[in-house]
Structures are given as structure tokens and as C-alpha cells.
Amino acid sequence: SIAILLYLARKFKTPDHWYPSDLQKRARVDEYLSWQHANIRAKGSKLFLTKVLLPLLTGQPLSPEKLESVTEELNVVLKQFEEKFLQDKPFIAGNDISLADLVALVELMQPVGVGYELFEERPKLAEWRRRVEEAVGKQLFQEAHEGILNAKNL
């Protein structure tokens, strides 16, 4: 949860870029963390649930209309994310990675895990993903997402 991430950042005095002491940068992180619950998390999780879990639980295939509707909802918030939060910056809070970037990318990996290639036609988003992966380390990133990236095989 967001609360535990903030607690850990404060308790273990993580490097400043994770949760910046600069008030403007921290406000950008806080703004994203507050926005993402009802947007990236909600729409990304909905696609994951609709595409994988519901058919598994019901034994019924997903209707193309439902998939299209859920995918379009996610596309709307992805556009908002790019325009409002990424803009022309390397990371959400500016030049350095923060908790906001980690939370955002983790949430976006759910739809990727069920086969929705949301980075393919979004070069700004794809470049941001590459920067986040490099900042945390590609191997660690792959290990952390191994389970979710295999979800479509359920």
C-alpha cells in the first residue's frame, strides 16, 4: 500500500529521490499517489480481472465488447498519465526516480501480464518504463514481475 511505502521511506531514511524533501517534488509524488488509486490502479486491475480472473472463475470467455470497453477505459487514463504526470520529464517528480514511478510501473505491469502491450504505441511511456527499469536494475525488475508477466498463461 501507499501508506506502508511512505512509512518505509521515512523509517529507513531512503535516498531523498524516493520521497523528496523538496516540497514541490514531494507534491508531485503525493499528487500521483493520490490520483493513481482511482485511475491507473482501478483501470489496470479491471483489465486484469476481466481478461484473466473472470473467465477463470466463470468458465465463460470474455465478450469482445466488454474487453474493448475495459481497454478503452485504461487508454483514457494512460493518456492522462502521459500528459499530466510525465509531460516532458524523465520521471514523475522530475529528473529522478521516485516512489510514484515505482507504483505507476507496477500497476501498469498487470495489463501487460495479460497480454495488453500498452507500451508499444506509446513511445513516451515506453521510454519512461526503460528509465525506471534501468534505475532499479533490469534483473530485479524482471524478478519482481515474473509472476504477473506469466498471468496470461493461467
Average pLDDT value for the chain: 93
Residue 100 within any structural domain of the chain: yes
**Which whole number is the average pLDDT over 67-85?**
97
Whole domain around residue 68: which residue ranges? 1-11+23-153
Residue 14 scores a pLDDT above 90? yes
Residues 25, 86: Cα–Cα separation, whole Å: 13
pLDDT for residue 18 is more than 90: yes
pLDDT of 28 over the 70 cut: yes
Q: Is residue 16 part of a domain?
A: no
Assess if residue 84 is contained within a domain.
yes
Three-state DSSP at 114 gives coil
Number of domains in the chain: 1
**b/e burial code for range 107-141 (CB count within 10 A of at least 16 → b):** bbbbbbbbebebbeebeebeebbeebbebeeeeeb
Task: For residue 64, give the CATH number of its domain.
Answer: 1.20.1050.10
Residue 68 lies in a domain: yes
In a domain, residue 77? The reply is yes
pLDDT band at 153 (very low <50, low <70, confident <90, very high): low
Q: Report the C-alpha gap between 10 and 2 in whole angstroms.
A: 12
Check residue 38 and give left, alpha or beta (phi > 0: left; psi -120 to 50: alpha).
alpha
Would you say residue 18 lies in a domain?
A: no
Is residue 120 pLDDT above 90, yes or no? yes
Identify the pLDDT of residue 1. 86
Indicate whether 73 belongs to any domain: yes
Residue 108 pLDDT: 96
- Residue 17 belongs to a domain: no
